[in-house]
């Protein structure tokens, strides 16, 4: 029965010039989300409102599902848009809307009229009362409840008249593209896709980098990361994924450094390489899925050691989350089932039985000197040979 949706979005912090940027980004992301949906849609901006109108048949659930992936959307209202052809016509439209939308009429309601167009000949209160009367006349089972109605019948008098009674929650946040870009270190695990989701939710566009170690890690492990990126891309738009061959670096560190420091030193090289790509593509920060104390490489000391090699900020949105909370989020956003597929990760191949949990920076720095200039060559090669996959 619906041919249009009214999109509600947050307004805090989007005054003045920012408002246009916010709205334009939101329209762009809506278009992106609707691209794979069958049907033709027209998206328009109008006085602090965004409307999506279908110009052809479409699948209602599919449209809703797609819109629920668009950050910046606070509410999705299936709306009936009608021309203003006098009060009687309006009353007819409202009654017919309720009739179709609510087959079971044993409901309480309240009419809430707003006149964005003040030239409308009746004041809002009068419209409320008059529409209420018409509804009661039409449906014997419906009753008025002004305090706690089952349905709030919104009637907004604008260019066209908007009739709606449902606000389906959107994901909130800010449209991707309104807050710069970040480089996500994306592994095949549970945490990093969730970290990417959380930062993107604040309007940040996401690029990603994945380190693999062929032949120790398989093509399927890589495919899993691409699949995870694809799920995250449903929310963020296309992701440029760099796939870095990390085998030589990892083997070389294994050969030259104490084994209990391997993970930390490896992570420092991951960060260095990720930062290189971030600079190249004008990302403003690195993003990881770390949380304090989750594993040996995520103690406060280990995080400090990893951080030391970065000059750009490292965003760790899961820093205070328990594993269970992260799992719940990953189920909610749809990455969990893919994350738990059992393919090997490059970090787990050479891990020590007893990795240091309180690495001293001094010790780590000294161990790294054993790597000499050769490691710089290897880093250079890893950067030069990285593959770029555009994931959408
Ligand atoms: P995840 O579930 O995200 O894999 P984890 O609990 O396995 O996290 P670690 O392996 O210590 O934790 O990795 C911590 C973070 O480092 C990850 O969240 C991710 O951001 C990054 N990371 C780890 N391994 C890789 C990799 N192979 N490629 C890219 N980033 C990685
Ligand atoms: Mg991992």
* Contact present, 190 and 327 (Cβ < 8 Å): yes
329 and 174 Cβ atoms separated by less than 8 Å: no
Q: Which residue has the higher pLDDT, 232 or 351?
A: 232
Using the mean position of ligand 1's atoms as its centre, give its distance from the Cα of residue 267 in Å.
9
CA dist 100 and 96 (Å) reads 6
66 CB under 6 A from ligand 1? Answer: no
Q: Where are the alpha helices (DSSP H) in the chain?
A: 17-34, 60-67, 87-101, 124-138, 191-200, 219-236, 247-256, 262-280, 300-307, 323-333, 336-339, 346-349, 361-369, 374-385
Over residues 321-334, the mean pLDDT reads 97
The ligand that comes nearest to the alpha carbon of residue 189 is: 1
Residue 107 CA to residue 127 CA, distance in Å, equals 20
Mean pLDDT of all residues in 304-327: 97
- Whether 7 and 52 have beta carbons less than 8 Å apart is answered as yes
Residue 104 has pLDDT above 90, yes or no: yes
Torsion (CA) 220, 224, 226, 231 in degrees, nearest 10: 160
Question: Rg for the chain (alpha carbons), in Å?
Answer: 27
For 143-167, the pLDDT digits (tens) are 999 999 999 999 999 989 999 999 9
- Mean pLDDT check: name the lowest of 13-17, 68-72, 320-324: 13-17
The confidence score (pLDDT) of residue 159 equals 87
d(CA 199, CA 201): 5
pLDDT of residue 12: 58
Q: Phi/psi of residue 185, each to 5°?
A: -85, 105
Q: Atom 31 of ligand 1 has which residue's CA nearest to it?
A: 187
How far apart (Å, rounded) are the C-alpha atoms in residues 67 and 112?
25
Q: Are 212 and 221 in contact (CB under 8 A)?
A: yes
For residue 346 the two structure tokens come to: 């490059």
Question: Would you say the C-alpha torsion 266, 272, 278, 284 has a positive or negative sign?
Answer: positive
Q: How far apart are CA 114 and CA 156, in angstroms?
A: 5
**d(C-alpha 282, C-alpha 199), whole Å:** 16
CB count in 10 Å sphere of residue 40:
12
b (16+ CB within 10 A) / e for 260-288? bbbbbbbbbbbbebbbbbbeeeebebbbb
Domains 4-169 and 181-391 belong to one CATH topology: no
Q: What is the pLDDT of residue 49?
A: 86
CATH class of the domain whose range is 4-169: alpha beta
Assess whether pLDDT exceeds 70 at residue 347.
Answer: no
The answer to whether 209 and 244 are in contact (CB under 8 A) is yes
Mean pLDDT of the residues in the chain: 94
Mean pLDDT of 112-127: 93
pLDDT value of residue 379: 98
The reply to whether the predicted model has a pTM over 0.85 is: yes
CA distance 220 to 122: 66
Question: How many whole angstroms from its chain centre is CA 384?
Answer: 30
Q: Closest residue (by CA) to atom 6 of ligand 1?
A: 191
Mean pLDDT, residues 28-49: 92
List beta partners, residue 317.
Answer: none
pLDDT band at 272 (very low <50, low <70, confident <90, very high): very high
Whether 297 lines ligand 1, by a CB cut-off of 6 Å, is yes
What tokens appear for 239 in the block?
Answer: 């992701």
Looking at the predicted structure, is the pLDDT value of residue 343 above 90? no
CB contact at 8 A, 8 and 160: no
Residue for token pair 């420092």: 268
- Output the DSSP codes for 27-49: HHHHHHHHTTSSS-EEEEEETTE
* CB of residue 347 inside a 6 A radius of ligand 1: yes
Closest listed ligand to the CA of 321? 1
Q: pLDDT class for 212, splitting at 50, 70, 90?
A: very high
295 lines ligand 1 (CB under 6 A): yes
Record: fold of 181-391: Rossmann fold (3.40.50)
pLDDT of residue 13: 57
Number of Cβ within a 10 Å radius of residue 125: 9
- Coil, strand, or helix at residue 359? coil
Residue 80 reports pLDDT greater than 80? yes
Per DSSP, the residues of 292-332 read: TTSSGGGSHHHHHHHHTT-SS-EE-TTTT--HHHHHHHHHH
Peptide bond into 215 cis (omega under 30): yes
Q: What is the distance in A from the centroid of ligand 2 to the CA of 310?
A: 20
With contact defined as beta carbons under 8 Å apart, do 65 and 18 qualify? Answer: no
**Buried b / exposed e along 328-337 (16+ C-beta atoms within 10 A):** ebbeebbbbe
Which pLDDT value is given to residue 55?
96
Residues 183-209 have pLDDT tens digits of: 999 999 999 999 999 999 999 999 999
Per-residue model confidence (pLDDT) at position 11: 63
Residues 6+ away with beta carbon under 8 Å from 131:
90, 91, 94, 111, 113, 153, 155
Ligand 1 and 294: CB distance under 6 A: yes
The residues spanned by each domain of the chain are 4-169, 181-391
pLDDT at 319: 98
């Amino acid at each position: 029965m619906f041919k249009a949706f009214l999109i509600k979005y947050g307004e805090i912090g989007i005054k003045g010039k920012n408002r246009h940027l916010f709205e334009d980004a939101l329209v762009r992301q809506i278009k992106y989300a609707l691209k794979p949906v069958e049907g033709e849609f027209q998206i328009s901006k109008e006085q602090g409102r965004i409307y999506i109108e279908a110009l052809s048949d479409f699948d209602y659930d599919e449209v809703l599902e797609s819109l629920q992936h668009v950050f910046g959307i606070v509410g999705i209202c299936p709306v009936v848009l009608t021309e203003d052809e006098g009060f009687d016509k309006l009353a007819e439209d409202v009654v017919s809307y309720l009739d179709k939308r609510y087959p079971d009429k044993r409901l309480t309601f309240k009419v809430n009229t707003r006149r964005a167009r003040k030239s409308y000949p009746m004041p809002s209160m009068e419209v409320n009362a008059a529409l209420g009367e018409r509804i009661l006349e039409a449906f014997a089972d419906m009753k008025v409840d002004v305090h706690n109605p089952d349905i709030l019948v919104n009637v907004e008098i604008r260019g066209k008249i908007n009739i709606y009674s449902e606000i389906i929650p959107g994901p909130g946040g800010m449209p991707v593209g309104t807050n710069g870009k970040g480089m996500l270190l994306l592994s095949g695990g549970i945490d990093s896709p969730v970290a990417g989701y959380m930062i993107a939710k604040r309007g940040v566009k996401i690029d990603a980098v994945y380190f693999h170690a062929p032949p120790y890690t398989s093509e399927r492990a890589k495919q899993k990361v691409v699949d995870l990126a694809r799920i995250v891309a449903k929310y963020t738009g296309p992701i440029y994924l760099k796939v870095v061959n990390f085998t030589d670096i990892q083997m070389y560190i294994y050969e030259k450094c104490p084994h209990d420091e391997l993970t930390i030193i490896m992570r420092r090289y991951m960060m260095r390489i990720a930062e290189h790509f971030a600079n190249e593509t004008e990302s403003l920060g690195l993003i990881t899925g770390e949380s304090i104390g989750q594993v040996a490489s995520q103690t406060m000391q280990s995080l400090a050691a990893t951080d030391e090699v970065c000059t750009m900020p490292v965003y760790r949105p899961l820093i205070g989350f328990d594993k269970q909370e992260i799992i719940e989020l990953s189920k909610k956003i749809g990455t969990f089932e893919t994350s738990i597929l059992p393919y090997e990760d490059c970090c787990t191949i050479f891990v020590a039985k007893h990795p240091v949990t309180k690495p001293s920076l001094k010790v780590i720095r000294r161990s790294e000197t054993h790597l000499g200039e050769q490691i710089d060559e290897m880093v250079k090669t890893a950067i030069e040979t990285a593959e770029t996959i555009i994931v959408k």
